A and B are shown apart, each in its own frame.
Chain A
């Protein structure tokens, strides 16, 4: 099983700042990595697929990068609606596995 490790667990930031979230895979997954945003009481929403392909419903301030075992999600100029939980997930091999999440909270 591929273990996905996200860091940090929590990021406290002010609106307008930029943040970078990290996700590490225990073995190479190529670019078969997704990022999801989850707001309280809602289902996760697909944000990024194939490590860097942004979903059309999300604005350009979200960007993903990386391959192999190291991945990052960058949010440039945080807006109020961006304060949420973010999960990475690998779909390179079974079982699919998720990271434990990074909470982006208002400072």
Chain B
């Protein structure tokens, strides 16, 4: 059972903007950096955002991350059909001697 909660799904039309929320606690998001991963159908996850709001080289700037308190968000602007994927937030959790926890995952559908 994940300690980071995300909406199961979000959908929007092409060229629009979507936001995915990730809710945690003081032992994870509240104290440590948040990352976001994109998982295209049938593929391995790919790092999308690290250290709350940083983009790895090669990731489109249509993706952006933010964090406030014990919650984080991923925004996708100018939505494209190739953005249709599962998205996971993740962070280190300080409880129980430390562990890396993933969010429940959000399926993004481009209408």
- Specify whether A and B are partners: no
Task: Give me the interface of A with B, judged by CB distance under 8 Å.
Answer: none
Task: Give me the interface of B with A, judged by CB distance under 8 Å.
Answer: none
